[in-house]
Amino acid sequence: MSIRRLRLCLVGFGNVGRAFAELLLREHDRLQSETGLDLAVTGICTARFGSIANPSGVDLQRALDRAIAGTPHGPHEEPTAFVASCHADIVVETTPLEPFTGTVGIAIIRAALAAGRSVASANKGPVAHDLRALKDLARRHGVRYRYESAVADGMPVFSLIERSLPCANVTAVTGLLNSTSGVVLQVLSEGGSVSQGIQRAQRLGIVEDDARFDLDGWDTAVKLCALSASLWDKPIHVADVERAPVSDVLATKALDARERGNRLVSMATLEWQRSNEAVQARVEIEEIGPESVFFALTGTSLGLCFETSLLQPLTISCSNPQLADTAYGLLADVLHIGFDDSCRT
Ligand SMILES: NC(=O)c1ccc[n+]([C@@H]2O[C@H](COP(=O)([O-])OP(=O)(O)OC[C@H]3O[C@@H](n4cnc5c(N)ncnc54)[C@H](OP(=O)(O)O)[C@@H]3O)[C@@H](O)[C@H]2O)c1
Report which DSSP code applies to 237.
Answer: -
- The tens place of each residue's pLDDT in the chain, 345 residues long, gives 799 999 999 999 999 999 999 999 999 999 999 999 999 999 999 999 999 999 999 999 999 999 999 998 899 999 999 999 999 999 999 999 888 999 999 999 999 999 999 999 999 999 999 999 999 999 999 999 999 999 999 999 999 999 999 999 999 999 999 999 999 999 999 999 999 999 999 888 788 778 999 999 999 999 999 999 999 999 999 999 999 999 999 999 999 999 999 999 999 999 998 888 899 999 999 999 999 999 999 989 999 999 999 999 999 999 999 999 999 999 999 999 998 876 665
Q: Measured from the CA of 19, which atom of ligand 1 is nearest?
A: 16
Which SS3 state, helix, strand or coil, does residue 73 take?
coil
Residue nearest to atom 15 of ligand 1 (CA): 15
Domain spans in the chain, listed from the N-terminal domain onward = 4-154+324-344, 163-320
Question: How far is residue 100's CA from residue 103's CA, in Å, rounded to a whole number?
Answer: 9
Residue with CA at minimum distance from ligand 1 atom 3: 323
Which atom belonging to ligand 1 lies closest to the Cα atom of 104? Answer: 31
At residue 303, the pLDDT reads 98
Indicate left, alpha or beta for 12 from its phi (over 0: left) and psi (-120 to 50: alpha).
left
Is the beta carbon of 79 within 6 A of some atom in ligand 1?
Answer: yes
Best substitution site from 46, 49, 101, 323 to test ligand 1's pocket, by max atoms within 8 Å of Cβ?
Answer: 46
Closest-CA residue, ligand 1 atom 12, reads 94
Q: What pLDDT is stored for residue 281 in this prediction?
A: 98
Rounded to whole angstroms, what are the CA distances from 269 to 78, 220, 297?
38, 10, 17
83 lines ligand 1 (CB under 6 A): no
Residue 51 C-alpha to ligand 1 middle, in angstroms?
14
pLDDT of residue 254: 97
As a three-state string, the secondary structure of 186-235 is HHHHCCCCHHHHHHHHHHCCCCCCCHHHHHCCHHHHHHHHHHHHHHHCCC
C-beta of 178 in contact with ligand 1 (< 6 A): no
Instruction: Confirm or reject: Cβ of 97 under 6 Å from ligand 1.
Output: yes
- What is the 15 CA–ligand 1 centroid distance (Å)? 7
Beta bridge partners of 7: 40
3.40.190.10, 3.30.360.10, 3.40.50.2300, 3.40.50.720: CATH of 163-320: 3.30.360.10
CB 203 within 8 A of CB 299: no
Query: Is 222 a pocket residue for ligand 1 (Cβ < 6 Å)?
Result: no
CATH, domain range 4-154+324-344:
3.40.50.720
Cα angle 265-217-93, degrees, rounded to a multiple of 5: 115
**Residue bearing the CA closest to ligand 1, atom 29:** 47
| Strand ranges for 258-328 from DSSP E | 263-273, 278-288, 302-308, 314-318
Query: What is each CA distance from 213 to 27, 42, 209, 220, in whole angstroms?
Result: 34, 34, 8, 9
Report the DSSP beta bridge partners of residue 174. Answer: 269, 305
Helix axes 15-35, 60-69, angle to 10 degrees: 170
Decide whether any atom of ligand 1 lies within 6 Å of the 20 Cβ: no
Determine the residue of 86, 95, 101, 124 to mutate for testing ligand 1's pocket, defined as the one with the most ligand atoms within 8 A of the Cβ atom: 95
* Identical fold, 4-154+324-344 and 163-320: no
Check if 109 has its Cβ closer than 6 Å to any atom of ligand 1: no
How far apart are alpha carbons 134 and 93 in whole angstroms?
A: 14
